Chain A
Amino acid sequence: MARMKFLCDADRCIECNACVTACKNEHEIPWGINRRRVVTLNDGKPGERSVSMACMHCTDAPCAAVCPVNCFYTTADAVVLHSKDLCIGCGYCFYACPFGAPQYPKVGNFGSRGKMDKCTFCAGGPEADGSKEEYEKYGANRLAEGKLPLCAEMCSTKSLLAGDGDVIAQIYKERVSRRGYGSGAWGWQTAYHETIAT
């Protein structure tokens, strides 16, 4: 089994937000929830870079560690998923997450956030693969169909890579050596306790 990861090549991201749109459309995400977003650093200044960010499916995920009802689980592909049936909407996963990935359908006053929602690496949830229930709660299960996450598939500059961590790290390394520069695999050190030497 592969160890699935995301990698955003910030030197290629043009902040077109197609990944955000593709994600919203593929999973029919309600208004107000962003499983993926693009953050621009040093906007309008020299050295500006944009990074597309979602759940990084961390090694030893902090969300899973702090969840008071233990609703998270890690699949054989190392994708971090959760059960919306068990989630109580306490909001702790958002506090622990280094990437701001967990989202809630409501503002959260009086503890009424609703069930947490986040990037599933297009791998659905605990329900049967491809079932109607799974789609309604977690969106499409592309992984079960042998496809990779749509955000990366749709990326116009192939900045966002998704797939086996070793494979995408190799692609990124080759890119960096060919073009002579690279600002690194954003979030990898925090999420996977390792980074790509370039």
Chain B
Amino acid sequence: MARLSAAIRTIASVLAFCCVMAFAAPAPTLAQDNPNASAVKEQQLLNQLKVIQGRGTIPDAKSYVLEHPAGRDWRYFHTVTLKWIGGLSILGMLALLILFYLWRGRIPIEEGRSGRKIVRFTGFERFVHWLTASTFVILGITGLNITFGRALILPWLGPNAFSAWSEWAKYSHNYLSFAFTLGVVLMFLMWIGQNFPTAADVEWLKRGGGMFTKKHGGHPPAYKFNAGQKLLYWFVVLGGGAMMVTGYVLMFPFYGGLTVGNMELAEIFHGIVGVVFVAMILAHIYIGTLGMEGAFEAMGEGTVDVNWAKEHHPLWVDEALAEQRDPKGPGLVTSTPAE
């Protein structure tokens, strides 16, 4: 039995061998054979996939991307588009503010100062504001340095000093982002209750916040925050959130399988929101200092003149005074000592 099966196996193998030989012949001639016929083609891959990726033998998975010409689009964005967006929004805002100041001047307290003060922001509110504000100024300057420093600062600082400054700027930008993030998160939680839209906001927006009329009493009423402040609040919360997400993507590059394309996208968002953010905050700084009499004290000392409060935030004053009359409530209105 064993012998028979061995014989069958032998015959079968011989037959199989003959078959293979028969099908293999005739052997293809060299001239007909194009080893490149099925080969991958660079242009075809680029047209189909925009990126050529293969397999490599080193641990760095990023290195398996052979070619990624989309870097060119990002280069154009970073060296041309972002400069235009940034330049136009920031210089445009400065120009608008200068024109506004020349036309409107400093917005005065119409009734003059009453000498009585009302608490507008508590110590904690001011701490959060200035934490966010001071870190924002540094983040803004060091961020703009990455886009505009090479053209504006490098020529007069020289390559060595500019590199030293830029390296410190980079580290400040990265590490102070944590303090800024904390500030924005606290601001979000602390003020969200007073920042939902109300009917008064519609009226405020319709009248442009009373900013564009020199008429006496042209200021529309508002609660603790007017519509303009609410818009700024939501811009800071949402824009700041976008800055955080994209910023931390850039700070911890390629985590979670992010590709070089994702990193480029993060930089694009970070850049655009960043320059618009700077432009918005310029307007905020203007109206909080030079642009309006009696406004800076709110964040400076935490109290404002009662007349200022009545002109700009009468609905809030009513609320605050009602709370004041409530024996259980905190004392908000204080009299300054006679001078």
Interface residues of A (CB under 8 A from B): 10-11, 17, 32, 34, 37-43, 46-51, 53, 62, 65-71, 83, 85-92, 94-100, 108-111, 180-184, 186-187, 189-190
Contacts and interface: CB of A to CB of B under 8 A. Distances in A.
Given A95-B74, A111-B171, A41 B57 contact: no
Given A86-B159, A100-B260, A111-B170, A11 B71 contact: no
B241 interface: no
Q: What 7 A-B pairs come out closest when comparing CB atoms?
A: A47-B38, A181-B36, A41-B54, A39-B54, A88-B167, A39-B66, A86-B163
12 contacts: A10-B39, A11-B35, A39-B53, A39-B66, A41-B66, A47-B37, A62-B71, A86-B160, A92-B78, A96-B72, A100-B260, A187-B42
B56 A38 contact: yes
A39 B38 contact: no
B56 A69 contact: no
Interface of B: 34-43, 45, 52-58, 60, 62-72, 74-75, 78-79, 145-147, 149-150, 154, 159-160, 162-163, 166-167, 170-171, 173-175, 250-254, 260, 263-264, 267
B71 A183 contact: no
A90 B38 CA distance: 41
Contact of A99 (B53, B57, B66, B160): B66
Contacts of B267: 92, 95
A98 B72 contact: yes
Contacts of B63: 34, 37, 39, 100
Interface of chain A, helix or strand or loop or mixed? loop
Given A68-B146, A92-B78, A100-B66, 16 more contacts: A41-B54, A62-B71, A65-B75, A66-B74, A66-B78, A68-B147, A69-B149, A69-B150, A88-B167, A90-B170, A97-B71, A98-B68, A99-B67, A99-B68, A100-B260, A186-B66
A69 B162 contact: yes
Nearest to B154: A70
Given A39-B64, A181-B35, A69 B260 contact: no
Contact of A110 (B53, B150, B174): B174
B36 A40 contact: no
Contacts of B38: 46-47
Contacts of A184: 41-43
A96 B170 contact: no
B264 A95 contact: yes
B174 A111 contact: yes
B160 A49 contact: no
B175 A88 contact: no
Nearest to A88: B167
Contacts of B35: 11, 181
A186 B42 contact: yes
